Structure 1
Amino acid sequence: MINESVLSIILGGGQGSRLYPLTADRSKPAVPIAGKYRLVDIPISNCINSDIKRMYVLTQFNSASLNQHIKNTYHFSFFSSAFVDVLAAEQTMQSDKWFQGTADAVRQSMHHFLQNEFDYALILSGDQLYNMDLEDMIEKHKESNAEISIATYPVTAKDATGFGLLKTNEESIITSFIEKPAAELLPNWTSEVSDDMKAEGRNYLASMGIYIFNRDLLVKLMENPDTIDFGKEIIPQAIHNHKTYSYQYEGYWTDIGTIESFFEANLGLTDDIPKFNLYDENRIYTRARTLPTSKISGTILNKAVISDGCIIQAEKIERSVIGIRSRIGKESIIKNTYMMGNDTYESLHDIEVKNIENLLGVGDRCYIDNCIVDKNCRIGDDVRIEGGKHLQDEETDSYLIKDGIVVIKKGATIPKGTIIS
């Protein structure tokens, strides 16, 4: 089935500078997660699982790899109206500027959206990790006769100052909004939440940046070129004039905005029962690859997630996510690490002919802890990388240290015997 009344608009985000160097040559939605997926697969999969199969992804920075991933991944029936299309910022007769904000991105792309029949526009972020029943949110929007619905997430007082907070009445209708309030203002911004949330001290409703707009209202709101952002302008102005419903979501949700949050979200997948659970009926879709099974020899695995097509001879892998086509040599120890893997294999013939000293992957007798290894890296034998809070922020041509996490840049070579500690 396809929900013909809903059109999904997935915002690709800005330059993604806080996720640098992972965004040095790819957009945020194209950043690999969980060993085999891309961030954009999360909102797309949430839509597909909710029978919403007409989607636009809006982007303007480093969009080539995102285009390629979507083109190679999301194929629907020739007789279906389903699609996932990428819309990059483009010059038109109406505008010759880059997207200036979330609302401006939607405004500049409206002529594409209006070629489709729909009653509701579902606006999602391309850089969040969550698993939501979007169909239920749409039904609640209809039942409440709202013109706008906002997905809200109960947060604690400690976290509340970093979000836009919403206040609701007893019918879950939003009555007021404040952007990143000072701590002394918080007592006036509590909302009604479930008993489970109260027990955790999560009494404040934060906007998740997930919206439903009635089609006609969205068209009307986009007529004002001076409003460029949903969270800072459109929503605060609209709630006073248009019925706005709060859809409370209490599952796992995180905004992948920094290297630290990205790192913790990926390592969290190694928990026995991860908060973001890939092992249930709501599948996450991604590119179908015909990779062989992973081959592991003499390795102790503890809380490890191993993707397809890996060749592993390590001594130990602990609390780590190992991406597709990864190679890890003998006697190496990998701890608290997200290794994204490789796009290709190196054949024995290539290795011999090219006399390659540092092979793709991790060499022999390495020790790697608190590290993100981006795609297609070459880490030589006897390399020691020991991340942690003892390290100061630093950047070189081949790696960056941020908040104690060592990030090996995409395609970098770390020569044998290198020590980063």
Structure 2
Amino acid sequence: MKALGIILAGGNNYRMRELSEKRAIAAMPVGGGFRAIDFALSNMSNSHIQRVAVLTQYNSRSLNEHLNSSKWWDFGRKQGGLYIFTPTITAENGNWYRGTADALAQNIDFLKRSHEPYVIVAGGDCVYKLDYNKVLDYHIQKKADITIVCKDVPMTEDVSRFGVVQMNEESRIVDFEEKPMVAQSHTVSTGIYVLRRRQLIEMLEKSMQEHRFDFVTDILIRYKNLKQIYGYKLENYWSNIASVESYYQTNMDFLKPEIRNYFFHQEPYIYSKVDDLAPAKYNTGAEVRNSLVASGCIINGTVENSVLFKQVFVGKNCVIKNSIILNDVYIGDNTHIENCIVESRDTICANTYLCGEDEVKIVRGHNERYIM
């Protein structure tokens, strides 16, 4: 592969509310057994990109633990590898990453020491499959300076949290608005970019000289009339999980047979760190309908239209509907949970009623099993 991969996984988003208080968004569990960053990493691996850097910062402990071995995504090669970069205090710099461009610039030595002619930059908070080779071929064919992977979203979807682009007949981007109040288009940037490595280095050095720190506003939007910036349309499934509503809906999408088949059974596959856990156990009285139940779970009650992640215990006479139960949750007997996201490592006491009515309810408690 003629490209180097960089995954931006250091940011936080207030739209995730309490869910991002204990982990980075890129470390959010998705689809029963994955983390959000697994999709970008798997796409890199499946596209035969041998060198991938992940830039982490906010609440990165669980994310770094997940990335402690590159073997799960097959990056353990002599000529490549998976590199984890966090903000580093030096004699010249004592700042955290002040934006996406600054994150890249603080690790510019990695770019300068690499030999690949192109760079693919992607976020760690999106669920999708993509062959980056096709995007790179398109980039070269168009003789583009920058190529942005774009996605048409439904007219009913709120695009105010995305970068919104407008393209002409030749797919050249003629306008780019970042998080507009009123959108003129429903074609959004997926946060995936392709450009030449040397050009990226030049743009980053210029931005840092001018104290500009954001990749979108200070590079893409600023250069939209000076550089040949093209859009590549992504036709298959794509979702950004960086809000509670989109995170909930993305996990609910995995209950649809066509989505499960696309991600679980169609090549190329999505890879993740594997835990040695027993298969899910369904005891007498358990009833499960249209749900995903991960390894290590023990079910004694009723689960319907829900996603249960690893090592969830559901007590007797429990009812769980339209909910997401994250890893290692203990749910006591006679509990009713509906339209909720239950935070990981929680203990839900017996005889509890939890229901999200106007919006998805986030349930956070104490893990009483570990309290002395």
Q: Same fold (TM over 0.5)?
A: yes
Question: Relative to 1, partners in 2 of residues 1:240 and 1:410: Cα closer, same or farther, differing over 3 Å?
Answer: farther
Q: What is the rounded CA distance, in whole Å, between the counterparts of 1:130 and 1:77 in structure 2?
A: 20
Render the CA deviation track for 1:184-216: whole Å, top value 9, x for unaligned: x73xx6xxxxxxxxxxxxxx4222211111111
Mind listing any 5+ residue stretches in structure 2 that lack a counterpart? none
* Shift of residue 182, structure 1, vs aligned partner: 5.3
Q: What is the rounded CA distance, in whole Å, between the counterparts of 2:286 and 2:70 in structure 1?
A: 33
Q: Secondary structure of the equivalent of 1:153?
A: strand
* Shift of residue 368, structure 1, vs aligned partner: 0.7
| 1:18 and 2:15 correspond | yes
User: Counterpart of 1:313?
Assistant: 300
Q: What is the rounded CA distance, in whole Å, between the counterparts of 2:231 and 2:188 in structure 1?
A: 10
1:339 to 302, 308, 325: 325
Which amino acid counterpart does residue 302 of structure 1 have in structure 2? Answer: R
Larger radius of gyration: 1
> Structure 1 stretch 364-373 or stretch 26-35: which is displaced more?
26-35
Task: Summarize the alignment of residues 216-235 of structure 1 with structure 2, pairs less than 5 Å apart.
Answer: 216-224=198-206, 225=208, 226-235=211-220
Render the CA deviation track for 1:356-413: whole Å, top value 9, x for unaligned: xxxx511111111111112211112211112211xxxxxxxxxxxxxx3222227545
Contact 1:176 1:239 in 2 (8 A): yes
* Shift of residue 77, structure 1, vs aligned partner: 7.1
Q: Secondary structure of the equivalent of 2:53?
A: strand
Question: Relative to 1, partners in 2 of residues 1:163 and 1:295: Cα closer, same or farther, differing over 3 Å?
Answer: closer
Task: Summarize the alignment of residues 369-388 of structure 1 with structure 2, pairs less than 5 Å apart.
Answer: 369-388=338-357
Question: Relative to 1, partners in 2 of residues 1:413 and 1:17: Cα closer, same or farther, differing over 3 Å?
Answer: farther
| 1:68 and 2:65 correspond | yes
Give the alignment's TM-score, normalised by structure 2. 0.90
Q: Secondary structure of the equivalent of 2:84?
A: strand
Contact 1:121 1:215 in 2 (8 A): yes
Question: Relative to 1, partners in 2 of residues 1:41 and 1:222: Cα closer, same or farther, differing over 3 Å?
Answer: same
Q: Secondary structure of the equivalent of 2:107?
A: helix
Q: What is the rounded CA distance, in whole Å, between the counterparts of 1:368 and 1:157 in structure 2?
A: 32
Which amino acid counterpart does residue 379 of structure 1 have in structure 2? Answer: I
* Shift of residue 308, structure 1, vs aligned partner: 0.9
1:299 to 286, 291, 299: 286
Which amino acid counterpart does residue 102 of structure 2 have in structure 1? Answer: D
Q: What is the rounded CA distance, in whole Å, between the counterparts of 1:45 and 1:174 in structure 2?
A: 28
Contact 2:25 2:242 in 1 (8 A): no
User: Counterpart of 2:116?
Assistant: 118
Q: What is the rounded CA distance, in whole Å, between the counterparts of 1:79 and 1:127 in structure 2?
A: 25
> Structure 1 stretch 246-255 or stretch 10-19: which is displaced more?
10-19
Question: Relative to 1, partners in 2 of residues 1:73 and 1:223: Cα closer, same or farther, differing over 3 Å?
Answer: closer
| 1:288 and 2:296 correspond | no
State how many pairs are aligned. 362
Q: What is the rounded CA distance, in whole Å, between the counterparts of 1:276 and 1:254 in structure 2?
A: 16
Give the alignment's TM-score, normalised by structure 1. 0.80
Render the CA deviation track for 1:18-64: whole Å, top value 9, x for unaligned: 22322212211112222221111111011112112311111111112
Task: Summarize the alignment of residues 4-403 of structure 1 with structure 2, pairs less than 5 Å apart.
Answer: 5-72=2-69, 74=71, 76=74, 79-158=77-156, 159-181=158-180, 183=182, 186=184, 204-224=186-206, 225=208, 226-274=211-259, 277-279=262-264, 280-297=266-283, 298-314=285-301, 316-342=302-328, 361-389=330-358
State the percentage of identical aligned residues: 29
Which amino acid counterpart does residue 268 of structure 1 have in structure 2? Answer: D
Question: Relative to 1, partners in 2 of residues 1:411 and 1:252: Cα closer, same or farther, differing over 3 Å?
Answer: farther
Q: What is the rounded CA distance, in whole Å, between the counterparts of 1:231 and 1:78 in structure 2?
A: 32
Contact 1:150 1:245 in 2 (8 A): yes
Q: What is the rounded CA distance, in whole Å, between the counterparts of 2:124 and 2:97 in structure 1?
A: 15
User: Counterpart of 1:194?
Assistant: none
Question: Relative to 1, partners in 2 of residues 1:276 and 1:83: Cα closer, same or farther, differing over 3 Å?
Answer: farther
Contact 1:58 1:86 in 2 (8 A): yes
> Structure 1 stretch 217-226 or stretch 71-80: which is displaced more?
71-80
Question: Relative to 1, partners in 2 of residues 1:331 and 1:28: Cα closer, same or farther, differing over 3 Å?
Answer: same
Contact 2:8 2:100 in 1 (8 A): yes
